[in-house]
A and B are shown apart, each in its own frame.
Chain A
Amino acid sequence: MINLSVRAMSAMLESKQISVQELCGVYSDRTQAFNADTNALITIHAELNAAELLQAQALLKQGGHPLAGIPLVHKDLFCTHGVKTTCGSNMLAEFVPPYNATVVQKLSDQGMVSIGKANMDEFAMGSSNEHSAFGLVSNPWDLSRVPGGSSGGSAAAVAARMVPIATGTDTGGSIRQPAAFCGITGIKPSYGRVSRYGMVAFASSLDQGGVMAPSADDCGLVLSAMSGHDPLDSTSAQQPQFDWQKPKTPDSKGLKVGVVSAWIEDLQDEGIKQRTLEAIAQLQANGAELVEIDLPHADLAISAYYVLAPAECSSNLSRFDGVRFGHQTEHVTDLESLYRQSRSEGFGQEVQKRIMIGAWALSSGYYDAYYLKAQKVRRLISDDFKQAFSQVDVIACPVSPEVAFKHGDKSEGVSMYQADKFTIPASLAGLPCLSMPIGFTQGLPVGLQLIGNYFAEQSILSLADQYQQQTNFHLQFPEAFA
């Protein structure tokens, strides 16, 4: 039961081999049993939402709703009506939104049943899920290691099969890197594909909601339901609703896959290098044509990102003033001390650091030299991708230069930032991209990143699904959680 695809679970529900309550009960029991090990969830619903159960049952009766009755968890930055939404922060520790995020509403409308809220790096800032006010998350493959971040709780929950589906968000790699570290599939769609309404903002020109699940097919089904233009989000794209079509065969003939050989050759971890080469060879064996491409400005991406994302973060997080919602200090003497002390108590160190970098980059004297300069570098990186996609349909490259590291190994310096060098370029361009599991090294999962052209989610999900028709890495999960 716990390793079935969404389609298989849906078939069982439709044929009444299992009820919605029984299926959700299986996963609720697993969240109760395994959360002490992983700390993947901040909130576990003691009782399932009666309205969601009724909706699932009604849709199953109608038929044709493949997500009806399927349990999921939302990353704890999607606003959930009447359910605490902490963003992994003391600032929002007691925040109970009076409305649902569009993503939450759309998946609920399709009959999905929420069983909890996933842990995360505070305000989605981090690559290890060690920056959460609700404790660090452990990787189910090795509990002494990080699950990646910032959607680390979502990734760990799916990897331990505490839940079959989790939502996540990705600003610079926050779906793809934890998916790779935890051996699952995760897709960040094109910027604008999924509404950001009700998704607590970190960097508004980069943030995008997505899906984490064992397989590309599971991701495709859920992405279809959560995508689409939303009048409540002026940055959501006026595109037709995504409609995932699962390929009937593993034949990828006619597809051109771009490869940046230098990125692979430069990998220091021999195990990751070998798995990456093997996976690309499998894509070729499935019929894809490999084409060498160049992304000459990609090495500037991290530097540009750490100007732009903190700048947007400092602007977005200025809304947390301790007055209207969120944490308010008890040590108030005047209005300014209310602001400063509430923010200093409510935000963790990493968040404060990024707010300060952003405030500096946007300040008089530095705006042109850093913020505007970084926006120009962003254009160069985006143009590199435009050039590449004039030659190829999909780009295949590593997700991370390393496997999941030990807790505390990267708590100082900028090495954690620099490890996002393969995920940030596509984020800056706003392109759809995913991570899929391609094997193991040192007993830990390795992922491959597939990047597509704007709104070409079908092409990257198809290539991943065709790979998964020929391999079984996406079906493997840690024995300790069997």
Chain B
Amino acid sequence: MSINRKELEEIAALAQLNIPETQVSHITESLNQVMAMIEHINDANTLEVTPMAHPNDAWQLVRQDEVTDSSHKNELLALAAHADEDHYLVPKVIE
């Protein structure tokens, strides 16, 4: 598996990243090296093997659906670059 420029642009869009023109060939090569390394997993016979998503799939916990913490609205809004008293502010989306 290896990618070309067009595929790099698609991946960058999925990742919400911009690739500077000067970096395109370096990043393409760098990702292709990792993808070549990843190919090794196809050497494994995984027929009838159950995927392992997590080491603790035996004890996933649940709790009652109850409010356990009070509002931290002001502290959290204060972390944003732009906010008013009740909202995060972003560029206009709807004309």
Contacts and interface: CB of A to CB of B under 8 A. Distances in A.
A328 interface: yes
Contacts of A314: 15
Contacts of A379: 49-52
Contacts of A34: none
A418 B76 CA distance: 40
Contact of A356 (B31, B37, B42, B61): B31
A306 interface: yes
Interface of A: 95-96, 98-99, 191-192, 205, 231, 234-235, 237-238, 297, 299-300, 302-304, 306-307, 314, 318, 321-325, 328, 332-341, 343-344, 347, 352-353, 355-361, 363, 370, 372-380, 382, 413-414, 417-418, 429-430
B76 to A, nearest CB: 7
B54 A357 contact: no
Contacts of A376: 44, 46, 49-52
Nearest to A314: B15
Contacts of B3: 360
Contacts of A360: 3, 11, 14, 31, 35
Contacts of A343: 15-17
Nearest to A418: B37
Interface in B24-44: 27, 30-31, 33-35, 37-44
A341 B20 CA distance: 11
A302 B37 contact: yes
Interface residues of B, number: 50
Contacts of B39: 303
A50 to B, nearest CB: 21
A307 B15 contact: no
B37 to A, nearest CB: 5
A205 B54 contact: yes
B37 A303 contact: yes
Nearest to A431: B55
Contacts of B56: 191-192, 235, 237, 430
A75 to B, nearest CB: 21
Contacts, number: 159
B16 A414 contact: no
Contact of B17 (A237, A340, A377): A340
A418 B63 CA distance: 41
B15 A324 contact: no
B34 A359 contact: no
Given A380-B46, A418-B37, A430-B56, A238 B81 contact: no
A325 B16 contact: no
B17 A417 contact: no
12 contacts: A98-B79, A303-B40, A303-B41, A304-B41, A307-B41, A325-B76, A325-B80, A338-B91, A375-B53, A376-B51, A377-B46, A429-B55
B18 A356 contact: no
Contact of A340 (B18, B49, B51, B75): B18
B67 interface: no
B90 A356 contact: no
Contacts of B11: 356, 359-360, 363
B16 A339 contact: yes
Given A322-B81, A377-B41, A335 B75 contact: no
Contact of B60 (A234, A299, A328): A234
Interface string B45-85: 01001111111100111110000100010011011111000
A335 B72 contact: no
A363 B76 contact: no
Nearest to B78: A98
B41 A98 contact: no
Contact of A332 (B18, B46, B72, B91): B91
